[in-house]
Structure 1
Amino acid sequence: MISKTTIDQVYETARLEEVIGDFVQLKKSGSNFKGLSPFTDERTPSFMVSPVKQIWKDFSSGKGGNVVAFLMEHEHFTYPEAIRYLAKKYNIEIEETERTDEEKEQANERESMYLVSEFAQKYFVETLWETEPGKAIGLTYFKERGFSDATIKKFGLGYSLDQWEAFTKAALEKSYQLEFLDKTGLTIVKEQTDGTSKKFDRFKGRVMFPIHSMSGRVLGFGGRILTNDKKAAKYLNSPESEIYHKSKVLYGIYFAKQAIAKEDNCYLVEGYTDVIQMHQKGVENVVSSSGTSLTPEQIRLINRLTKNITVLFDGDAAGLRASLRGIDLILEQGMNVKVCTFPEGEDPDSFAKNNTYEDLALYLEENAKDFIQFKTSLLAQEAANDPIKRADTIRDIVNSISKIPDRIKKEVYIQECAKLLQISEEVLYNTLAQIDKKDRVEAGKKLKQEQKAFEVVKNEPVVEKVDVLYELERKIIEMLLLYGDQKQEFEDLVLKENEEGELALEPEVVEAKVYQKVYLDLQEDEIEMTNDHFRNIYYMLIGDLNEKEEFTVNGFLSGLDQEMVSEVSSILMENERYMLHDWERKDIYPKEREKGVAQLVGETILTLRCNLIRARIQELQSQTEGRKEDNSEVLEEIMNYLRLNKLLNAKLNRVLS
């Protein structure tokens, strides 16, 4: 268990905007930050971060919370994992009791696989640096590639001994279970006919490249064989598992994420060594698809950090045209794409190794072409003087343009394409229209097929009724969170008889803190919150505001469970939703609530009273229905409540029918 002292220190030290900034590209928006949702495939920002309140809200998915909640949602960490991650990031020493064998057994499957992977990474590193074969074979290979000691250590590169069970035996001796060695693919287990099992290391005799998640956890490995064994694959990756999905992972993203966001551009290469060599040379905003075809999930990883991708191709890359399909996928995600090829015989690894940082950066800047220019020149060369091939080339390029969701960008690219291919814009627009029509027809067919798969029952649209009581209770929680410890002058309403003998509400000004005013008013009216969540949060809030010298939202959230954290964050960040629309740029200036806190509190309490009075009136009226005995007392009570309701509504400037 992690000590309460450590947890408190983590909450006090961690800065939400810094932590989320490692995963999402944030831009200043007033006193807050905004960015694209990391949980949905959106193209307009709806993700808000409040540095003052230290909470975030994703309006597109409905998720929200504090810094720990973000790591639990985004990285699928457990609560202790999130605390450990933050402690490591901010160099906080963790105080905790030793985990028992029973607690280790209770760890879930994913965590067990992570632990096995992390042990493997450390084992391969130790083998590389501390064994004779590791130094003679593995370290020599990395040195020949031009990697420095610092780079080798930074990327966690290692070596797996050329022995059948070296790693597996070491892991079992450390009490790691064979089940999880098998599930991560580190060990291959084959059942024998006699009921026994044979086990051996998957990465036997290979140099090892650990593959990290965006948060730095080891998900799997890539291993390169160094012998000329024609039967063995040159590169071998971990198999798909509960924690490793190659289509959703980019090699180097953990080391590149901050540079990508800072440079607002991501270089995409093919291999592990391309990433490492360029990173070592100083170009750190580089990732690799690890030899697999680029996937939408991988593109969305980059999209969280930047809208700009530069794809780097080898000078003599085989199947370059096939690789262009990845560009269409990038365009579909609404991103900006450039392409850069290296001189013949060079790749990103060799070019970075043989040039200075200045030469590399200059080359990338001068030779990165817009995708339409690159694709046009490449395919036009292939078509040469063949009219049929030329027509196919034009259609191919227009097909790529059709993938772009932004209509303005489409038009700009059509105009550029017309100039480069020396063809009329009208022809290209017609071709684009044909492609779009075909896509719509196919989408329509797909929709019909999906509709046929389900029996659709047409019902009259149901108009959801607003739960007034829920909204009012939610508003009270919001006021306590935002302004609870502020001192205000309130106008209390006292019910008195005037000179004519009629009941009237007379105002009396009192000074109090917001939480005191709310608590006393609800106590006076014997009002209990009907929503369980709100009731629990309410009493915890009143307790904190009353007992603590200095109340902070972040401190309050640290004492709640994650379900309550999400609820409280949603309430608080709803207050910030209007900022997403940049009203100030449209010369619209929303009223600042702080300027009318007393009025807001007073009106909310009055509205709640009116709502409860109406409910009481309905209850009393139902008592009179069908009754034969005297109803005069009940009717008199109803009349009193009606008069009070009228007075309260008059105070709220509402006219009752």
Structure 2
Amino acid sequence: MPKISETSVNAVLGALDIIDVLSDYLTLKKSGSNYKANCPFHDEKTPSFMVSPNKGIYKCFGCGKSGNALRFVMDHEQLTFIEAIKLLGKKYNVELIEEAQSPEQVQLLSKKEKMYVALDWAKNLYISILNHEVDGKIAREYIKSRGISPKAQETFGLGLSPKGWDSLLRASQVHKLDEGVLNDAGLIVKREEKTFDFFRERLMFPIIDTNGRVLGFGGRDLKGDGKGPKYINTPQTEVYDKSNVLYGLFQAKRAVRNKDRLILTEGYTDVIALHQAGIEEAVSASGTALTEGHIHKIKRFTKNVVLLFDGDGAGKRAAKRGIELCLRMGLFPKVCLLPEDHDPDSYIHKFGGQHLTDHISTKAQDAIYYELSLLAGIASTLDPQHKAGEVEQLLGLVSYVTSPIQRGIYIKQIGHELSIDEEILHGELRRIKGATKAGPNRPKSVSALTKPYSSRKTRPQQYLEDLYLNLALRELNLIRILVEHGHRPYDDERSVTHFVLDSLADEDLQTPLHQRIFARLREGSVQSEKLIHDSDIEIAQHCTSIYLSEYSAVQNYESLSLEGWRKRSGPIVGIDQTYKSDVDREIQWFEWELHQQLEFEWEMRYKDAVLSEEETLKMLALKQKINALKVKTSNPLGICVRRI
């Protein structure tokens, strides 16, 4: 099996647009020159995931994840480097030139990659059978009877699984596909000594992820003999988990973003019918109830969801489950029920697509108001105990709403509809919210860096630790300067990077990681502006974090400082046009911090100590160095220095 050439890899990397790539997974919002979103790698309500289009990098300040567009796809999709390159090459229509691989290299192909190849092959096989003049005739007639157009058939990749117990298996042997991979992908079944196809003589609905990869299939029975279930899905595999997959999202994602709304329905044909009717933001939960995994997928594209279900008992129960889950996970759900004898597909066939569009526009109801209307309709028939229980459940839904104003509106409406005093409702809501908070109240913490300067005498060890921490903050600013301005000229002979390296020794730095960065720069093995894309993942993530910090360390520095004279120091890192003076100033401040630390260490080590002649000479030499460097750094900064 061939491998991808280095030229092709570079072509894919050159084509990447980090905003375009991440927009397939997240809802990005502009924030100054950057973008922000809720992090996909951990649960959060306040966005801490920042993306820089200029540098082509991202950083989450909640969980620490960082990298470029390729790293994001690798981490999010759990892909190898080559798998991610293939995926992104397909997205950007980059032709991948392949080279021959050795048997050893073939063995390194991941199990998932082989499964994707097998599933894509199966999809194409099913399509070819459906289009066969004889074999696909009955299935095509059924598709036509359901009102599915040839265009929709192609868009959703509908196919037909072959007759016979092992037709797909025998076809795979011609193409030399591994039987174990077919089994892992859920295409065949092995029982005792028999092996047979999982799908036989069924209309096939490929289930595709947002990157266009086939994960599995849904199959509808066409025989009508009642010997098997009407629908079956691919069993759970390493690439297909029905609790994390939404059918039709690949086809719907653009419309969902454009309309900032997703319509969730129940069946495969419902989704296709809605798309044909122009309601292209529709998806379904792939043959299962709505799950947290589905919500995570939805939140990448929008927070607005319409639950479009049948109006029968099952539809109402599905809506009730969906409302609680959506609200709990931060979505804004609405409910739109159809008449009891209709699903979206049948409704469109009888009344037309425009009628359904109008129905959704006029009948889709705020989820909490929907629940309130149901309760108001039966409240008069409930005894006080049962009514109180129902109200508590309704207030539990209100408690998920983060906006105090919105909660107040709901409380007012609930009080009006159910004739309950609003103060009582507010009190019960406070009780519910208090009961859901995790853990006891924590005492307010105080940063060690806000302690008074007098701790130099009263708490010397704490003071020394504070000095180390202040110096570490200065190191972060130096690294940021190197990433942002290191490639720029400092003078006629040196770049900013060379000036910083000439000014400081590696051992002056407190942090081992920063020492490694300086060492790599001295070796010339990496350019400063490329540190955020360094092959050393730890260095790349650290530099990305610093670059995307929005100057947070600098902005907080004055409030964390120990001495009043720092307040006169002005900004540590300035605007782009004054980078040279910023570099000078930061070097001076770093040396000042460093020598303040050395001075205090000197006092703790040598003051009142009984020294040998040799130790005395070392002490005097160190004292002279400290005094000389203090004077050097203090004069430009306008600081009065006491000698030791």
- Give the TM-score normalised by the residue count of structure 2: 0.82
**Aligned counterparts of 1:141 and 1:478: Cα–Cα separation in 2:** 63
Pick from 549, 558, 570: which aligns with 1:574?
549
Give the Å deviation of 1:148.
1.9
Whether the 8 Å contact between 2:501 and 2:518 is mirrored in structure 1 is no
Cα pair distance change 1:131/1:637, threshold 3 Å: farther
Match of 1:86 in 2: 88
Pick from 555, 579, 596: which aligns with 1:597?
579
**Aligned counterparts of 1:260 and 1:141: Cα–Cα separation in 2:** 29
Cα pair distance change 1:102/1:512, threshold 3 Å: closer
Pair 1:420-2:417 in alignment: yes
Deviations 1:199-219 (A, max 9, x none): 111111211112122322222
Give the Å deviation of 1:309.
1.0
95-104 vs 277-286, which deviates more? 95-104
Whether the 8 Å contact between 1:315 and 1:344 is mirrored in structure 2 is yes
Match of 1:61 in 2: 63
Whether the 8 Å contact between 1:265 and 1:307 is mirrored in structure 2 is yes
**Aligned counterparts of 1:409 and 1:350: Cα–Cα separation in 2:** 36
- 1:472-491 aligned within 5 A: 472-488=474-490
**Aligned counterparts of 2:174 and 2:25: Cα–Cα separation in 1:** 37
Deviations 1:285-333 (A, max 9, x none): 1221123121122112212221211100113353523541221111111
Structure with higher RCO (Cα < 8 A, 6+ apart): 1
Cα pair distance change 1:95/1:322, threshold 3 Å: closer
Pair 1:643-2:627 in alignment: yes
**Aligned counterparts of 1:216 and 1:561: Cα–Cα separation in 2:** 31
310-319 vs 647-656, which deviates more? 647-656
**Aligned counterparts of 1:94 and 1:514: Cα–Cα separation in 2:** 39
Matched AA of 2:97? E
168-177 vs 41-50, which deviates more? 168-177
Matched AA of 2:71? A
Pair 1:538-2:521 in alignment: yes
- 1:508-587 aligned within 5 A: 513-522=495-504, 530-531=512-513, 533-535=516-518, 537-539=520-522, 544=527, 560=535, 562-575=537-550
Give the Å deviation of 1:338.
0.7
Match of 1:155 in 2: 156
Give the Å deviation of 1:482.
0.9
Whether the 8 Å contact between 1:116 and 1:176 is mirrored in structure 2 is yes
Whether the 8 Å contact between 2:27 and 2:300 is mirrored in structure 1 is yes
**Aligned counterparts of 2:610 and 2:593: Cα–Cα separation in 1:** 26
Deviations 1:526-549 (A, max 9, x none): 99995364146525778647xxxx
Cα pair distance change 1:344/1:576, threshold 3 Å: farther
5+ long unaligned stretches in structure 2: 441-461, 557-570
Pair 1:246-2:218 in alignment: no
**Aligned counterparts of 2:555 and 2:201: Cα–Cα separation in 1:** 54
429-438 vs 362-371, which deviates more? 429-438
Whether the 8 Å contact between 2:572 and 2:585 is mirrored in structure 1 is no
Whether the 8 Å contact between 1:473 and 1:534 is mirrored in structure 2 is no
Whether the 8 Å contact between 1:610 and 1:649 is mirrored in structure 2 is yes
Match of 1:452 in 2: none
Cα pair distance change 1:418/1:22, threshold 3 Å: same
**Aligned counterparts of 2:479 and 2:393: Cα–Cα separation in 1:** 57
Whether the 8 Å contact between 2:277 and 2:353 is mirrored in structure 1 is yes
Cα pair distance change 1:576/1:395, threshold 3 Å: same
Matched AA of 1:248? N
User: Between the two proteins, what is the percent identity of the paired residues?
Assistant: 34
Deviations 1:17-74 (A, max 9, x none): 1111121111111111112212222111111111111111111221111111111122
Deviations 1:567-617 (A, max 9, x none): 332232124669999xxxxxxx99853244223322333355456667888
State the aligned residue count. 598
Secondary structure in 1 matching 2:152: helix
Matched AA of 1:412? I
Pair 1:47-2:46 in alignment: no
- 1:348-427 aligned within 5 A: 348-354=344-350, 357-381=353-377, 385-387=381-383, 393-427=390-424
**Aligned counterparts of 1:616 and 1:386: Cα–Cα separation in 2:** 77
Whether the 8 Å contact between 2:483 and 2:532 is mirrored in structure 1 is no
Pair 1:272-2:268 in alignment: yes
Cα pair distance change 1:169/1:383, threshold 3 Å: farther
**Aligned counterparts of 1:170 and 1:580: Cα–Cα separation in 2:** 65
Deviations 1:73-98 (A, max 9, x none): 22222212222222222222112213
396-405 vs 25-34, which deviates more? 396-405
Match of 2:288 in 1: 292
Matched AA of 2:85? I
Whether the 8 Å contact between 1:332 and 1:405 is mirrored in structure 2 is no
Deviations 1:390-440 (A, max 9, x none): 555444433432343444433221212223334433443455456456656
Match of 2:618 in 1: 634
Matched AA of 1:203? F
Cα pair distance change 1:638/1:429, threshold 3 Å: closer
Match of 1:453 in 2: none
Matched AA of 2:544? S
Cα pair distance change 1:102/1:139, threshold 3 Å: farther
- 1:158-307 aligned within 5 A: 158-191=159-192, 197-307=193-303
Matched AA of 1:571? I
**Aligned counterparts of 2:205 and 2:504: Cα–Cα separation in 1:** 62
Whether the 8 Å contact between 1:312 and 1:340 is mirrored in structure 2 is yes
Give the Å deviation of 1:267.
0.7
Cα pair distance change 1:394/1:473, threshold 3 Å: closer
**Aligned counterparts of 1:303 and 1:628: Cα–Cα separation in 2:** 70
49-58 vs 251-260, which deviates more? 251-260
Deviations 1:229-255 (A, max 9, x none): 334111111122222222122112222
Whether the 8 Å contact between 2:526 and 2:534 is mirrored in structure 1 is no
**Aligned counterparts of 2:55 and 2:245: Cα–Cα separation in 1:** 32
Cα pair distance change 1:68/1:576, threshold 3 Å: farther
Cα pair distance change 1:238/1:629, threshold 3 Å: same
Matched AA of 2:273? Q
Give the Å deviation of 1:270.
0.9
**Aligned counterparts of 1:391 and 1:44: Cα–Cα separation in 2:** 33
Match of 2:38 in 1: 36
**Aligned counterparts of 1:367 and 1:601: Cα–Cα separation in 2:** 62
**Aligned counterparts of 2:11 and 2:301: Cα–Cα separation in 1:** 29
**Aligned counterparts of 1:198 and 1:96: Cα–Cα separation in 2:** 37
Deviations 1:513-564 (A, max 9, x none): 423422443489999995364146525778647xxxxxx75xx766736554
Matched AA of 2:414? C
CA RMSD for the aligned pairs?
3.7
